Structure 1
Amino acid sequence: MTISFEGRVAIITGAGGGLGRAYALELARRGARVVVNDLGGSRDGTGHSDAALKVVEEIEAAGGEALSNGGSVTEYDQMVAMVEQARERWGRVDILINNAGVLRDKSFAKMTPEDFEFVVKVHLIGSANCTKAVWDTMREQNYGRILMTASSTGLYGNFGQANYGAAKLGLAGLTKTLYLEGAKHNIKVNTLAPTAGTRMTEDIFPSEAFKAFSPETVAPAALYLVSEDAPTNAIVGAGAGVFQAAYVTLTQGVHLTGDALSPEGIAAHWAEITDRAGEIVPKSGAEQAMSIMARLQG
């Protein structure tokens, strides 16, 4: 069955190039009306350009409907205005893809507090700003699809990216609460961890890999995760046409008492504590407490 976005309105941040552009073009091709948001800055978040306008022109040339927005995700009022712009033009907002991002890579020893704060502000606070700006609209219309952009750096770490990793794992955590709060309003929230050859990674990938990891090879996952029949609370890895699922798991654990309830007891039972046999994937934070209670009663 063909996945269609006819009648849907989508907002994509950071859509002036790379992944965001690929998402915007494919959503428009499948019938969505698209707000192309891009501040147009360079990779480190400085400067401006007319990147968003060019993507709008591409969409319109192909027969689609789009409008550009140059608001900064770090400014909540500008995101509220962007949502109003979409509502005035098309009456609703169905999809939000939080894709805008910057890099200021350095080892933590050399990273300034300002560089740490700025990257967290763009990725994490910026995504929260955009999501808050659409949240009431999606609740009122009883429909919403939101996609956060995490990263393997956030999930697993990467040297020189403490700021980026902290922000990206924060986004996965944001998803895990919002999917619970949005469920009764038919708002589905997912996390995508893409690996792609874009402006952000052009000096990291060898040229052949850069081509293999094109944004177009990631876009199918993004579109599925914002479609009508999407799952919710998924963490999906995507790159070069390979798609994976990631999970935050919890082991069965060990109940320690008496003398074993000590740092020495933890050391002695470490292998059992970390044994992954029978681990679970909690659907909410409450399940950790529930698993502890079950262990006590066992």
Structure 2
Amino acid sequence: MRNSFLFITSLLLILSLVACSNDEEESSDSNEEENERTLEHASGEVTIPENPDHILAPYLEDSLLALGEKPAAQWSIGEDVIDYLQPQLEDVPTIEWDLPLEETLNQDPDLIIFSSPSSIQNGSYEDYESIAPTYVYEDEVSMDWRKQLTQMGEILNKQDEAQDVLADFDDKVEETKATIDESIGDESVAFLWTMGEEFYIFESTRYGAEVLYNEVGLTQPEFVEELEQEEQWNPISMEKLGELDADHVFVIAEENEPGLEILDESSVWQSIPAVENDQVYTMNDPSHWTIDGVLAHEMTLDAVKDALAE
């Protein structure tokens, strides 16, 4: 009788432990499912893991870093990387811009993010999805840096952080506006990028110029306002540059860029108002001028504010 009692007691204890273990597993599975989020994106739906920490997001590193996340590997074309982000990314390995499948697999990511459907070059969406959950931005979201950052906050479950970053940026815009209003008022400003021997004018929808003209409120010279559609972001001739009526000009170029020497030796360039009045400012880090991103635009605002306040 005593042995039977012990057997029954032991059996009940074992069943109780099994039940508790099952409950804990179900609770753990339930919590994991609750923390995962299923998002719609350009290629359908994807379930994002909780707290991904090995992320590949080529050419979206600005938004990642703004939210306190480092990528597992950074965008590159050969040895070229996003220069202005290197203080934060100098210890991060590179991966080719088009995410070759073998390189991607070797990085062992737990989340892959593409900037657009067209950026998937080396395989199908399903190829990448078989490696890790893969999110693909809609073009219209990716191309708007504010929307891009907000969506990155959604992807990483950092919505509040994204809103805080944008609020801080808006504060910087107001500070920049106050400084520039005091230093140059409504004098006109133009932005000229030279690469090689070619020249490009930033119109009011181009990169940081959009923030500077439309948010900070810098005055556009008539030359910029009247650029024809076919002239926007196409190389502009030196003869045409002779019509640039800006009071201030920012020349954006790497040191020793051939275009700088061309400008120095051009009598046409020397005759425009900004040059005659010694109000030309050379910016030798083009990388944050020719990309959209909150960190890039912060650097551009600081560069313009410092130059015009001197």
Task: Point out the structure with max Rg over C-alpha.
Answer: 2
Higher helix share: 2
Q: Give me the TM-score of the superposition, normalised by structure 2.
A: 0.29
Q: TM-score, length-normalised on structure 1?
A: 0.30
